[in-house]
Amino acid sequence: MGEPEIKRTKLYDNHVALGAKMVPFAGYAMPVQYPMGVMKEHLHCRANAGLFDVSHMGQGFIIPDDGKFETAATAFEKIVAADIRGLEPGQQKYSQFLNEDGGILDDLMVSRLGMPGHDHWLYIVVNAACKDADFTRLAGQLPDGVTLKVSDELSLIALQGPKAADVIAKYLPDAATMPFMSSIDAQIDGIWCHISRSGYTGEDGYEISVKHDDAEKLWDLLMSHDAVETIGLGARDSLRLEGGLCLYGHDIDETTSPVEAGLLWSIPKHRRENGGYIGAARVEKDMAERPKRRRVGIQPVGRAPAREGTIIQNMDGQEIGVITSGGFGPSAEGPVAMGYVKRKYARVGTKINLVIRGKAKPAKIIKLPFVPNNFYRGSLKAN
Amino acid sequence: MKYTEDHEWIKLAKDGDGDIATVGISTHAAGQLGDVVYVELPEVDAEFEKGDDAAVVESVKAASEVYAPISGTITAVNEALEDAPETVNAAPEEGGWFFKMKVSDASQLDGMMDADAYKKFIAE
């Protein structure tokens, strides 16, 4: 076998035409930045709207042969810890695939389709680097009568930022009031889309699944708005880091459990108590005994960024953990990081040292996120 | 102005009986790095051999070393970069200089590229 061929999304030519710097990422040639640069792209997304090609991610459907949602939901609840059976049509949840030891194999978004005639289907979005392994494993885990259909005909485009709703609402007024973590199937200017109100920036926004053949048309349409600029993987990373969101393979992996990673919120109470999913024993053990380490936000004092792999020490110089994501936060206007520390050091405000190029530099534990999440919570007002 | 294959620039000035070299990173390197957010400078009086790690320049995404292009002793550092690292992008070959060194052996510059040669080098 030769070198694996690097894949391209349907928008590859568009990125190149826009002057993007293309880099290999999870087997795809992806735009790491456009001529605007990471800093300005990041700030633009926080203030306006940013357009992302995330077609490298894996999309699939879980379909019960008997046409009953309960059948698909029951099967998928044996695999993930989220409340799947309780999903209403169009509702979306964040979850993780765990191994038998409770280590995280990948994280994912799962929704119950809302479209009439298809509301017994589950739709999942998984990470690009894990998708082949996820789909192979999942196909083997699902029982007879429940089928995994891996999509090879869908692109995925995200529009994120405080002006994303205004842009989408020009074509689809209903999109403006969609609840966070819900989805609809509807047309944008005649293009059929599966639209979910979610994302990976900490901002309000949408992830839009669209047929490959329509991807370019939708991309150009959304790009035509003054509020919209294209955003590469560089700013996507700094946005999600400021937003306190985990990057698989860095902040979470097979060696970390959901409780250590601070993701217990994604496991509802009845599932924590009743188990019945892969890795449940570890989650129960971590809850009962409390984990040995915790994922925390880390604010370096001073300007030096602390990168992934930086050793964390206590004030006595003993190693207590490691940075798993770190860099510069354009909105935070300084270095930002997250990592794992021994539990006794996880309290917000704890002073720590980061060993950067051999020198201990002061930092402290902070509460994530670095920049407040700006998710759409509806127009409910207290009277 | 001379350039190294590691994308530093170096400019010599007479200082009494010796030479002082001012060192920075090239416009090309600054463009490749993207938005510079942090610069770590050497200590004044630190001694470096040609090729030693002398400074660090960090963009949003990554950290890169700046090497001492020649052997010598640090005589001054551009402290303004600590508060305004973006100067490295704005004026990489002027206000964005990193450090000055007292040159031990000016002949180390002999093999270095001039502006035209460097232009060809980065175009390759």
Taking an 8 Å Cβ-Cβ cutoff, which residues of chain B contact chain A?
34-35, 37-38, 40, 56, 58-63, 82, 85
Nearest to A238 among B56, B58, B60 (CB): B60
Nearest to A305 among B35, B37, B82 (CB): B37
List chain A domain ranges.
12-52+153-242, 292-366
Nearest to A305 among B34, B38, B82 (CB): B38
Instruction: Inspect the interface and report whether the beta carbons of A304 and B59 lie closer than 8 Å.
Output: no
Distances, alpha carbon B53 to alpha carbons B22, B42, B45, B74, in Å: 16, 9, 15, 13
d(CA B21, CA B97): 11
Helix (H, G, I), strand (E, B) or coil at A232: coil
Q: Which residues in chain B are closer than 8 Å to A234, comparing Cβ atoms?
A: 34, 60-61
pLDDT bin (cut points 50, 70, 90) of residue A129 is very high
Alpha helices in A97-231 (DSSP H): 131-141, 164-169, 212-223
d(CA A163, CA B26): 38
Q: Testing the interface with A: which of B32, B38, B60 to mutate, by most A Cβ within 10 A?
A: B60
Which of these, B35, B36, B100, lies nearest to A40 by C-alpha position?
Answer: B35
d(CA A203, CA A158): 11
Report CA B80 to chain centroid distance, whole Å.
15
Which of these, B23, B27, B76, B75, lies nearest to B50 by C-alpha position?
Answer: B23
Q: What confidence score (pLDDT) does residue A223 get?
A: 98
Say how many CB pairs under 8 Å bridge A and B.
Answer: 48
Q: Which residues in chain A are closer than 8 Å to B37, comparing Cβ atoms?
A: 39, 303, 305, 328, 335
Q: Which residues in chain A are closer than 8 Å to B32, comparing Cβ atoms?
A: none
Nearest to B35 among A38, A303, A307 (CB): A38
Q: Which residue has the tokens 């919120």?
A: A265
Chain A residue with CA closest to B55: the answer is A357
Answer yes or no: is pLDDT of A381 > 50: no
d(CA A379, CA A349): 34
Instruction: Inspect the interface and report whether the beta carbons of A304 and B82 lie closer than 8 Å.
Output: no
pTM metric for this prediction: 0.94
**Bridge-partner residues for A326, per DSSP?**
A337
Q: What confidence score (pLDDT) does residue A378 get?
A: 75
Instruction: Inspect the interface and report whether the beta carbons of B34 and A33 lie closer than 8 Å.
Output: yes
List chain B domain ranges.
2-106
d(CA B84, CA B67): 21
What is the DSSP secondary-structure string of B54-82? EEEEEESS-EEEEE-SS-EEEEEE-THHH
Share the mean pLDDT of chain A.
96
Alpha helices in A113-265 (DSSP H): 131-141, 164-169, 212-223, 233-242
Instruction: Inspect the interface and report whether the beta carbons of A38 and B60 lie closer than 8 Å.
Output: yes
Q: What confidence score (pLDDT) does residue A382 get?
A: 39
> How large is the C-alpha radius of gyration of chain A?
21
Interval A330-370: pLDDT, tens: 999 999 999 999 999 999 999 999 999 999 999 999 999 99
Nearest to A38 among B58, B61, B82 (CB): B61
Which superfamily is assigned to A292-366 in CATH? Answer: Aminomethyltransferase beta-barrel domains (2.40.30.110)
Poorest-pLDDT segment among A71-75, A137-141, A372-376: A372-376
pLDDT bin (cut points 50, 70, 90) of residue B112 is very high
Interval A207-240: pLDDT, tens: 999 999 999 999 999 999 999 999 999 999 999 9
Residue range B58-78: average pLDDT?
94
What is the DSSP secondary-structure string of A77-114? HTT--S--TTPPTTBEEEEEEE-TTS-EEEEEEEEE--
Nearest to B60 among A234, A303, A304 (CB): A234
Answer yes or no: is pLDDT of A115 > 60: yes
pLDDT bin (cut points 50, 70, 90) of residue B97 is very high
| ipTM value | 0.87
Provide the 10 A C-beta neighbour count for residue A163.
Answer: 22
Task: Fill in the amino acid letter for B23.
Answer: V
- Prior bond of A330 cis (ω within 30°): no
Strand residue runs (E) in A252-307: 293-300
User: Largest alpha-carbon pair distance within chain B?
Assistant: 43
Interval A11-58: pLDDT, tens: 999 999 999 999 999 999 999 999 999 999 999 999 999 999 999 999
Q: What confidence score (pLDDT) does residue A377 get?
A: 84
Q: Which residues in chain A are closer than 8 Å to B82, comparing Cβ atoms?
A: 303
Q: Return all residues near B76 (Cβ < 8 A) that are at least 6 apart.
A: B44, B99, B100
Nearest to B34 among A37, A307, A335 (CB): A37
Task: Fill in the amino acid letter for A226.
Answer: D
Q: Which residues in chain A are closer than 8 Å to B59, comparing Cβ atoms?
A: 38, 328
Q: What confidence score (pLDDT) does residue A383 get?
A: 35
Interval A60-104: pLDDT, tens: 999 999 999 999 999 999 999 999 999 999 999 999 999 999 999
Answer yes or no: is pLDDT of A3 > 70: no
Which of these, A62, A69, A96, lies nearest to A85 by C-alpha position?
Answer: A69
Share the mean pLDDT of chain B.
94
Distances, alpha carbon A223 to alpha carbons A43, A51, B34, in Å: 17, 7, 23
d(CA A320, CA B63): 24
Q: Token pair of B10, please?
A: 């170096």
Chain B residue with CA closest to A306: the answer is B63
Nearest-CA distance from B83 to chain A in Å?
9
Note the CATH number of domain B2-106: 2.40.50.100
Q: What confidence score (pLDDT) does residue A379 get?
A: 57
Interval A251-304: pLDDT, tens: 999 999 999 999 999 999 999 999 999 999 999 999 999 999 999 999 999 999
Q: What confidence score (pLDDT) does residue A360 get?
A: 97
Q: Which one of 3.40.50.2000, 3.30.70.260, 3.30.1360.120, 3.40.50.620 gives the CATH number of domain A12-52+153-242? A: 3.30.1360.120
d(CA B68, CA A164): 47
Nearest-CA distance from A47 to chain B in Å?
19
